[in-house]
Homo-oligomer: A and B are copies of this chain.
Amino acid sequence: MDRLSLNQITTKTWSLREAVAGCAEAGVGWIGLWRDKVAEVGVAEAARLVRSHGLRVSSLCRGGFFTGVTPEGAPVDGVADTRQAIEDAARLGTDVLVLVVGGVANRDLPGSRRRVAEAVDQLAPVALRHGVRLGLEPLHPIQCAERSVLSTLDQAVAIAEPYPPEAVGVVVDEFHVWWDPGIAESIPRAAGRIVGFHVCDQLVPLTDPLLARALPGAGPIDHRTLRACVDAAGYTGPIEVEVFNADLWQRPGAEVLAQVISSYRNHVVGVPGG
């Protein structure tokens, strides 16, 4: 239980204030913050709230969009935005900034991927200076067009490798990588660079591909095997339960958090037959 972290998106109806209080109440020691929720109270107040409840911040979501392509379509300066996010992460007391790198620009997938590598090259020294590790998160291939031209863990590791692990790491999210036929080899390759492990399941049957996620145990993902693999790669940090699910988002935060805790106990850390 001491590694469980509530990623704030899972209890989307909760404000930051409510989420922090809810975690403290439920005995969850870690929280993964989202920038839009932080913005509601401001970075300084968010940092104060987290501290005053005795919590630690597992990560800040998110910087990135280096290709300029977002689901909203409006152009963004991903590098400038990520500089700000690095500063915010440091002030919030977390050493991990999750990056969603952006979708395909101009039907040019190789070119879009080069832009990501170039942005990381600019930002790695900034991150290092602030004591924040950039967490390259490969997203499920279904998000390639709109959100992330990094689709596999191997790609993320390849972009991270030229930099010290204190500057650039990778985030392993079960929803995004579970299908990958090479994942049992990719996770060991990421050893020393894993800065986050996100757990959730996939909804079956599929509907909206962004929201097609569920609490661990509700879908086809073999959580114990994936966790064993991440453990064997030496990752000992917090494990975020991060679930995008429209039904969960209709229910009271405390009820959702109780389910997060039980699904984490039963499917992520539980020992089969134990």
Contacts and interface: CB of A to CB of B under 8 A. Distances in A.
Contacts of A180: 141, 151
B204 A179 contact: no
Interface in A125-165: 140-142, 144-146, 151-152, 154-155
Nearest to A212: B209
A220 B145 contact: yes
Prevailing SS type, chain A contact patch: loop
A220 B146 CA distance: 9
Contacts of A222: 107-109
A75 interface: no
A221 B181 contact: no
Copies in the complex: 2
Contact of A107 (B71, B152, B212, B220): B220
A113 interface: yes
Nearest to A105: B220
Contacts of A104: 220
Given A151-B179, A152-B181, A107 B142 contact: no
Given A140-B141, A141-B179, A209-B209, A146 B107 contact: no
Contacts of A206: 142, 145-146, 208-210
A205 interface: yes
B107 A181 contact: no
Contacts of A109: 178-179, 220, 222
Nearest to A72: B205
Contacts of A212: 209
A180 B150 CA distance: 10
Contacts of A209: 142, 206, 209, 212
Interface string A207-228: 1111010000001111000000
25 contacts: A71-B205, A103-B220, A104-B220, A107-B221, A109-B178, A109-B179, A109-B222, A140-B141, A142-B142, A142-B206, A144-B178, A144-B220, A145-B202, A146-B204, A146-B205, A151-B179, A151-B181, A152-B181, A155-B181, A206-B208, A206-B209, A206-B210, A207-B208, A208-B208, A209-B209
Given A113-B181, A144-B220, 13 more contacts: A103-B220, A107-B220, A109-B178, A109-B220, A141-B180, A145-B204, A146-B204, A146-B206, A151-B180, A154-B181, A207-B208, A208-B208, A209-B209
Q: List the 7 closest A-B pairs by CB distance, nearest first.
A: A144-B179, A141-B179, A142-B142, A145-B220, A104-B220, A209-B209, A107-B222
